[in-house]
Structure 1
Amino acid sequence: MTNIEKQEQLPITISADSGFSNSLKPLLLELEMWLNFQALKADWYGDEACILAFDFTLVRSLEDKRLDSSEEGAAAGKEWVTGEGYAYCYDSASLNTTAFIAVADLLEAGVGIEQAIKSRLVGVVNAVGKEHGLVSLG
């Protein structure tokens, strides 16, 4: 990876599981830009030694991922934190968080899906940010 590629990569990325349509890409990009901007406004990137990175993936359901049954993950010291519609694993050594955001329940409920996804994204980043004394994102 060149320096230019490193500079262009945002600390918070959002993608969708392979089962989703490519038509979601504009929404994912919009959510990614929105969340990175919220973190920038809250001065989350002020200390270059402590820039948290998040890799979000939208999935249909968390059950598909079998997060708590992975012996490999437990052996590697990876512990998944789950909440309503999300699960994440934070690695304090690298400051990286891997997270899954479930959407099937949102589709069934018929709620405003974009706002509900934002709420789940913010829930994860705020939980990890709180460990570092960062201002909560809105």
Structure 2
Amino acid sequence: MNMANLSGFSRWQYAVAALLLLLIEIAIALFVHDRFVRPYIGDVLVVVLIYCSVKSVKPSLPWRSTAIAVLLFAFAIEGLQYLKLVRLLGLQHNRLARTIIGTDFAWADMWCYVAGIALVWWIEVVREKRNRL
């Protein structure tokens, strides 16, 4: 039996989850212009999307280390927003760069990333327990 299947979802399950999350994120970006779903739920889901994307490429990575690495990556991107990276690179008029990198630092975003990784952590722990039965 494949060890990746014992420790986590299969590569394809992560890939399908990543694709669905990407579609949800695109729908939020295009159609939701509110003060809750777009700024908060979108940020919670983006770290889950990144986690699933990484695990779809390399499912054998330990999920705990991967979750922590994704959280640190999200924090780093938010830190670059604090430093106004988009402006420093001269990309402030590039909509794609502003969307991907972001332009505004917010402590609330950091908490959303923590919530997203907490969701990943909970799902992986529940799955691990189920696999032990």
**Normalized against structure 2, the TM-score is what?**
0.32
Which is greater in Rg?
2
TM-score, reference length from structure 1: 0.31
Name the structure where strand makes up a greater proportion of residues. Answer: 1
